[in-house]
A and B are shown apart, each in its own frame.
Chain A
Amino acid sequence: MEHLGRMIGEVVTVNVLLFMLVGIVAGIVAGAMPGLTATMTVALLAPFTYQISDPIAALMVLVGVYVGSMHGGDISAILVNTPGTPAAAATCIDGYPLARQGKAALALNTTAIASTVGGVFSAIVLWTVARPIASVALRFGPFEMFCLAVFGLGVIAGVSEGDVLKGFIMGGLGVLFSAAGRSPVFDVDRLTFGLAGLPESDLRYIPLMIGVFAITEALTQVEAETVFERAATSFRNAFPSRKQLKELTVPLGLSSVIGTIVGAIPGAGGDIAAYVAYDQCKKISKHPEEYGKGSLEGVAAPECANNAVCGGAMIPMLTLGIPGDSVTAVLLGAMIVIGVRPGPTLFQDPQMSLILSGIFLGLLITNLIVFPVRLLGVPVFARAVSLPPRYLWPMVVAFCAVGSYSMTGSMYSAYVMFAFGAFGYVMKKFGFPPGPMILGVILGPMAEANLHRAITINHGRAAAELFSPLAVALLLLTVFSIAFPIVQERRKKKSPNAAA
């Protein structure tokens, strides 16, 4: 109780709440803009959080961005039939028909309620299950930790956006990039190719992420020049009636559970959760015929699920140090830079205990604060949908430059960002997804350090002794996590409705 009181005292300060609010607003605006993804926004803001002396405040900016962007994704989905984030794609199905019926405000307020319910539910689940999972993970030896890193790399199959082979190549390149420079394990410089002074291993995450996500996206959008014209609509408050809210109770409950579970599965992100929830809620609905034509349940279910993913995805990230998707990979990188290294040992460190509790409580508070921000700010956030590219993308680049430079106080980081922006753009042209590379960069050092430790400890014994039942189980899970998306993708291609 004393700990809880201290925790509330640490998190509920004006300073932390203000930073949280900044993150939420930035996240909603970014989520509302098609092209600006949650991953990119977290990468973009991460360097600035490095400058904040209070680690809880710094983390709350990032958590705010993550939660805010999930909230913002539905704004453009409903208003212009274009999801602001991939997780909001399912919201278009009923959101846009509602907007065309003149019920945009009703749809937006319903998704605000649904998103908050999902977010709060998953934050509570995270708070409840994280410590027990971490206590189990603490029993892992170095080889099990290596297998865990390999399992995390297996997630690449799920985040490869199409071609799994290219995803694994990008993941492998990410591991190689993480190995370049001074090795923390062997204390030698390696793979520098004549480039002296590569940033410290932890600090190099950020310029790389900014380059791969933000600069690449800026170049892609400048090339595409898509302008999203917002349909004229009134934002006068229109809330679901008591009867409608009552009807939403079951879909919201089901979607919260689905979102949290799907979020906790590495590789399965908000988009999958949203579609699964939409499908399941349609199956149990009393009015399935309304789905696709402007059903309130149809917008509430996917939004509730994709917001529940936030807490769910943080379960493996915080307890095992395994990012479940690209956003949590970037979030994990940013946390390491701040000085918080997620994983089971985080739960043992008494100094980190308060920060950890701050994350749990902060996620819960963020999900509560985001609700009034959403309701009050919808008319403003809706304008972000159609912000002209000539203002947006040059500003994004200017932020990228400040962010990269500020990490090390050296232009070297800015050039690293530039180089990876070019690399990401070219790779995108060849169909290589950027997300797996970040997973490789994050998990590469964990895999190498633990493999080295395992071999050193096991020296003189048979190699088979390394393979404990837990290690074998993790490797089998890896095989499953690689095979499942491939099989699913093949099934989708064979399905007669694949085009739809």
Chain B
Amino acid sequence: MKDTISGLLMLAISAAVWHSAGALPAGNGAGLGPGDFPRGVAALVGVLSLILAVRGAARGGAAGSLPAFGPRAGRALVFFAFIGAYLPLMPLVGYVLSTSAFLLASFALLSPRRAVRDLAAGAVFSVAAAVCVFWLFGCFLKVPLIEGPVDEFLRYTIMKGIGIA
């Protein structure tokens, strides 16, 4: 089942690429067209995917089981959702606030205990880590970061004030 599903999924992807590349001009014998190479590779991937799907269906057994998820797969899914929320939040509120929020939420999710004391430690860690990363990359290494009002305040008032920006 596992290999059959993944084989069919890959077959669908390669069919979509084949179709999309087909809309591009083809080569004329004097060279490749822009769609020829992707089409050839898509065809190859399609054939391999079909073999995988057929092999999966024929084998059954281990290849017949569905993908194995660990006992904490739900937690991984929530963590993934946090990442999904963190990225669009960054342009809205800036790097430090969004990163602090993401780190704290993830810390709470991954902590074995959720006592107030642990969460307080997590909050301190989250803010400190976000500020340190902001300083290291944004100020020291001059890596472009998305900045919000809090980041600007940090950079131009506090860090500049103490001479580290």
A-B contact pairs, 29 of them (CB 8 A): A48-B143, A51-B142, A169-B10, A176-B14, A176-B38, A185-B34, A188-B24, A188-B34, A191-B17, A191-B20, A193-B16, A222-B79, A225-B72, A390-B107, A390-B109, A390-B111, A395-B129, A397-B86, A398-B102, A398-B133, A402-B95, A405-B145, A406-B137, A411-B88, A415-B87, A432-B6, A447-B37, A452-B37, A459-B29
Known contacts A398-B130, A411-B87, A421-B83: does B67 contact A430 (CB below 8 Å)?
yes
- Tell me the B residues contacting A by CB distance below 8 Å: 2-3, 5-6, 10, 13-14, 16-17, 20-21, 24, 27, 29-35, 37-38, 41-42, 44-45, 48-49, 51-52, 55, 67-70, 72-73, 75-76, 79-80, 83-84, 86-88, 90-91, 95, 99, 102-103, 106-107, 109-111, 122, 125, 129-130, 133, 137, 141-146
Point out the residues of chain B lying under 8 angstroms from A406, CB to CB: 137, 143-145
- Tell me the A residues contacting B by CB distance below 8 Å: 47-48, 51-52, 165-166, 168-169, 172-173, 175-176, 179, 183, 185-186, 188, 190-191, 193, 215, 218-220, 222-225, 388-391, 393-395, 397-399, 401-402, 405-406, 409, 411, 414-415, 418, 421-422, 425, 427, 429-432, 444, 447-448, 451-452, 455-456, 459
Q: Cβ of A219 and Cβ of B37 under 8 Å apart?
A: no
Across the interface, B76 reaches (CB within 8 A) one of A193, A219, A414, A444, namely A219
Q: Cβ of A448 and Cβ of B32 under 8 Å apart?
A: yes
Q: Which residue of A lies closest to B103 (CB)?
A: A394
The answer for the CA separation of A152 and B62 in the assembled complex, in Å, is 31
Q: Cβ of A223 and Cβ of B110 under 8 Å apart?
A: no
Q: Cβ of A389 and Cβ of B32 under 8 Å apart?
A: no
Point out the residues of chain A lying under 8 angstroms from B69, CB to CB: 223, 429
Q: Cβ of A165 and Cβ of B51 under 8 Å apart?
A: yes
Which applies to chain B's interface (DSSP): helix, strand, loop or mixed? helix
Q: Cβ of B37 and Cβ of A394 under 8 Å apart?
A: no
Q: Which residue of A lies closest to B126 (CB)?
A: A394
Q: Cβ of A459 and Cβ of B30 under 8 Å apart?
A: yes
Q: Cβ of A411 and Cβ of B91 under 8 Å apart?
A: yes
Q: Cβ of A165 and Cβ of B48 under 8 Å apart?
A: yes
The answer for the CA separation of A418 and B95 in the assembled complex, in Å, is 17
The answer for the CA separation of A394 and B16 in the assembled complex, in Å, is 35
Q: Cβ of A456 and Cβ of B87 under 8 Å apart?
A: no
Known contacts A173-B45, A414-B87: does B34 contact A190 (CB below 8 Å)?
yes
Across the interface, A183 reaches (CB within 8 A) one of B34, B129, B141, namely B34
Top 6 nearest A-B pairs (CB, nearest first) are A394-B106, A172-B45, A390-B110, A223-B76, A429-B67, A186-B34
New A-B contacts (14) at CB < 8 Å, excluding given A459-B29, A459-B30: A48-B137, A179-B38, A186-B33, A190-B24, A193-B20, A220-B76, A398-B103, A398-B129, A406-B137, A427-B6, A430-B3, A448-B37, A451-B37, A456-B30
The answer for the CA separation of A227 and B73 in the assembled complex, in Å, is 17
Across the interface, B137 reaches (CB within 8 A) one of A218, A402, A430, namely A402
The answer for the CA separation of A394 and B3 in the assembled complex, in Å, is 32
Q: Cβ of B106 and Cβ of A191 under 8 Å apart?
A: no
Q: Cβ of B70 and Cβ of A224 under 8 Å apart?
A: yes
Across the interface, B83 reaches (CB within 8 A) one of A176, A179, A224, A418, namely A418
Point out the residues of chain A lying under 8 angstroms from B44, CB to CB: 172
